Chains A and B, each alone.
Chain A
C-alpha cells in the first residue's frame, strides 16, 4: 500500500499506509493524525482538512478543482501548494507523498 507522511506544524512526522482510492483525509482520520479535523466529513464543504502538499509532490498531486479552490478561501494561511486533503485521492503514483498540516484549521 502507498505510504503517506504527515508533518505537523511543530515538525512531528507520522507515516501511514493508505489504500488506493481512499482520500488523504480519510487516512488522516483513520490514523488519528492530529491537525486534520474534517468537520464536514469529506464533502468539500468546509476547509478543516487543509494541508500543504510538499513542493516535490505538488505537480504529481495537481491543482485543486474550482469548487475546492472556492472552499480554500475559508482556510487559514493558504499557500501555493494548499489543498483540501479530502479531495486528494491516493494512487500508486502517490506512494511516499508528504503533506504538512497547517498551524491551525479554519
Chain B
C-alpha cells in the first residue's frame, strides 16, 4: 500500500494548514528536501521571507556561476533554482512567500504548531529548518545611535502610510524601494527629501523620471550626500546630519527617516525556539540531521557538525538522510524500503515518469 493512500495530503481545517513537513526556507536545500521527502511520500509546505524561491542563489547571486554541483560543470545560480523547482514539482510543494516563521511549539497530540509573521498557522508532524544564513532583513546603516530611533522615527519598511502623514520624511537610497516610497509618501507627508550618494538611480526609469519631475516642480527635495548622524530626543528624530557630495555638511529637518540599504541575513526568531545553538548555527547529528529537539531537523548552511562544509552539495546529502528519519516520525512503524529512482517502478510512478 502506498502511503499517499493512508495520509490525506494538506488537509485544511479552520485556517490551520496541516502538512507532513513544514520546511523553513526555500533555498536550494529546502527545495531539494521536498524531492527527497516526496520520494518517501511526505508532503511539504515551505515558508520563505523572500517573494520567490532560491534563497541566496536568487537574492545574492542569481547571475553567478556555480562550479561544484555534481554533474554540472557550470550552472547559473538562478538556473539551478529553476531545475530544483522542476525536480520538486511532482510532489506539489506549497510555497508561502514574503513571510517569516515566528514561533514553533510542540502540540500535545504530537507534531508542531508553526506560525508566521503574516499569521499563517501550520500543524506539521516534522519541521525542517533550511534557513541558510538566516532570514533576509533590511540592513541597518552604520549611523551612530540609529537604534534609539528605530520603530519610532526610523523605519526600514512602511507598514502604515498614515504614520508618515504631515511628517518631514527623509528617504535614503537609490533603488526601487527608495523611489517607490518617495513617490507614495510625497502626497501625504509635510515634506519629503530623497537623499542618495550619487545622481544616478538603480530604480525603474519611470519612477526616476516622476521623481525628477516633482523635484523640478519644487514639491520634493533631492539631496546628493550621505548620512553622518542623527539628532533628536527620546526616540523622536528632529534632524539628520549629512555630508554633501561637495564636502560640506548640512542638517536636514526630518521627523521620519526611511533608509534603504539592501538586505542582510539574520538568524531572527529561530533563536527563540529553544534549540541548542552554537555561534548562531544549529548543532545536529550526522545520521539524521536532527536538532536538540526531536522532530525538528536542520539542513544546509544553518546547521553545524564536525567537518561541516557550507556547500549546496552538502545540503543535498543532508536532506536525503534527514528524509529517512522524518519518515519514521511521519509514519511510525512503517518499513522503509530503500529504492533507486533508476529502477524502482514505485518511485517512478511518484515522479510521474512511468
Contact = CB atoms under 8 A, between A and B. Distances in A.
B224 to A, nearest CB: 11
A45 B264 contact: no
Contacts of B173: 73
Interface of A is mostly: loop
A78 interface: yes
B202 A104 contact: no
A74 interface: yes
Given A43-B60, A106-B139, A106-B142, A74 B262 contact: yes
B179 to A, nearest CB: 12
Contacts of B202: 70, 73
B139 A43 contact: no
Contacts of A40: 60-61
A72 B200 CA distance: 12
B54 to A, nearest CB: 13
Instruction: Give chain B's interface residue range (CB within 8 Å of chain A).
Output: 10 to 19
A28 interface: no
Given A69-B200, A76-B142, 18 more contacts: A39-B264, A40-B61, A43-B61, A43-B64, A45-B59, A45-B61, A46-B262, A47-B262, A69-B198, A73-B174, A73-B175, A73-B197, A73-B198, A73-B202, A73-B261, A73-B262, A106-B139, A106-B142
A55 interface: no
Interface in A23-65: 39-40, 43, 45-47
Instruction: Give chain A's interface residue range (CB within 8 Å of chain B).
Output: 10 to 19
A17 interface: no
A77 interface: yes
A73 B196 contact: yes
A86 to B, nearest CB: 12
A77 B247 CA distance: 12
Contacts of A43: 60-61, 64
B110 interface: no
Nearest to B228: A77
B261 A104 contact: no
B141 interface: yes
A104 B197 contact: no
